[in-house]
Structure 1
Amino acid sequence: MRMPRTVRSAETLGRVRLSHSFFVRDFLHSEIAAIHGISNMPDDPDLAIAAGRRLCEELLEPLQAVFGRVAIRSAYRSVVLNAYGNAHRYNCASNERNYARHIWDRRDASGCMGAVACVALPWLVDRMEAGTPWQAMAWWIHDHLPYSELQFFPKLGAFNIGWHERPKRTIYSYIAPRGYLTRPGFANHVEGHGQFYECFPGLEGDYLADRESV
């Protein structure tokens, strides 16, 4: 598939289904693009679709199956859009750092593909307002899903969640106290963490059966 250059071709790309619940169009909105009139279309749609499918099938679908609606806050960024966001201090890392992360249609320096989306879970928003710490969700994901990286943010308990061909398995927080919750080499990295999310639902039953039947 070529980079969309017409409304019709953009619509065609947007209709591509990445998983049971998600389509490409769900991941293309950007406030930076909307305000500054910058295209947020991939140069390499096929690579973006391939990476996005892994993100959706392996991470976002399980989250939605267990916790309900996954709201997409920020996901795919074109190289032009991300560079503009970085230059204007819109909380965008450099293009090189975002290859195989928010820039789905570029492989990273190791030649690997990946994809990141920033999401908010209404289920988690409500429970954090009632006192549940963000670490509970972080440890649930760590123990249940093949994520590469997580970064948690103060507003809405939103977090970046990334899939990558060579997963890093790191969890970082911008919520005080800032820093890594875990990463390879930390004493807490391998052991189970069920005590932190005892009241959370599990990933089992109907969801796993549905995946096997697809």
Structure 2
Amino acid sequence: MRRPTSVQALTELGRVRLSKSFFMRDMLYSEIAQVHGLLNAPDDPDLAIAAGTRLCEELLEPLQAEWGRIAIRSAYRSREVNALGNAKQKAGKAGYNCASNEANAAAHIWDMRDADGCMGAVACVVVPSFRDAHQQPGDWQILARWIDEHLPYSTLHFFPTLWAVNIGWHERPLRRIDSYAEPKGRLVL
């Protein structure tokens, strides 16, 4: 599949089903792209679909089956969208917290292999039913432990707002859990 450059092509890409519950369209929304008028679409749709399918089938579907509906906050980012998010962060402007394109290869940039040539994908998700039931400081660790015991994740990064989590699938999983929520830092299980 070619990079979409028309509404019809983007519509076709969006209709690609990544798993039982998720379509590519679910993964393409970006506030950065919306505000700055950028097309958040992969240069290599086939690679993005392959990585996104693994993320959805192996991580998001089982997470949703256990905890109920999950909300996608951020998932796929084009190189252009991610680079702008990183440039804004480097300039010290709030709200654009993207790592460099190299650091986000095989993470938020699904259609860019990492330095080792590996494929990966990350989505930032919120699990509303979990957040509703677990609102005490540090409760994010309950979800972290469940994921660690049940899913083949590579990386987890938890955030204080709604216990959002960047959940990552990778061909060579790191099995690493970090948090910006209290207690901050790396969680070792």
TM-score range, shorter chain: over 0.9
Q: Which residue of 2 aligns with 1:65?
A: 65
**Residues 132 and 179 (structure 1 numbering): CA distance in 2 closer, same or farther, change over 3 Å?**
closer
Q: Which runs of 4+ in 1 moved over 3 A?
A: none
Which residue does the alignment assign to 1:50?
Answer: 50
Larger radius of gyration: 1
**Equivalence for 2:114:** 108
Q: What is the match of residue 153 of structure 2?
A: 147
The code of the aligned residue for 2:68 comes to G
C-alpha distance in 1 between matches for 2:15 and 2:101: 26
Query: Deviation per CA, 1:111-145, whole angstroms, max 9, x where unpaired?
Result: 00000000000111101236771101000000000
Q: Quick check: 1:128–1:157 contact (8 Å CA) kept in 2?
A: no
Whether 2:14 is the aligned partner of 1:10: answer no
Per-residue CA shift, 1:146-178, capped at 9, x if unaligned? 000000000011000000000000000001232
Q: 1:160 aligns with which of 160, 163, 166?
A: 166
How many residue pairs get matched?
A: 183
- Helix, strand or coil at the partner of 1:118: strand
Cα distance in 2, alignment partners of residues 167 and 75 from structure 1: 18
Of stretches 97-106 and 130-139 in structure 1, the one that deviates more from structure 2 is: 130-139
SS at match of 1:73: strand
Structure 1 counterpart of 2:124:
118
1:166 maps to a residue whose letter is R
Change (3 A) 1:69 1:132: farther
Partner of 2:85: 85
Conserved 8 A contact 2:138-2:182? no
Give the CA deviation at 1:69. Answer: 0.4
Structure-1-length-normalised TM-score: 0.84
Which of 94, 102, 107 is residue 100 of structure 2 equivalent to?
A: 94
Counterpart in the other structure of 2:34: 34
- Asked if the contact 1:48/1:104 (under 8 Å) is kept, the reply is yes
Which amino acid letter does the alignment assign opposite residue 119 of structure 2? M
Question: What TM-score results when the alignment is normalised by the length of structure 2?
Answer: 0.95
Unaligned runs of 5+ in 1: 183-187, 189-214
d(CA) in 2 for partners of 1:154 and 1:147? 20
Question: Would the alpha carbon gap of residues 131 and 99 (structure 1) be closer, same or farther in structure 2, given more than 3 Å must change?
Answer: closer
Q: Which runs of 5+ in 2 are unaligned?
A: 90-95
User: What percent of counterpart residues are identical?
Assistant: 66
Output the CA distance in 2 between the equivalents of 1:54 and 1:177: 30
Hey, what's the Cα distance between the residues in 1 that align with 2:61 and 2:99? 26
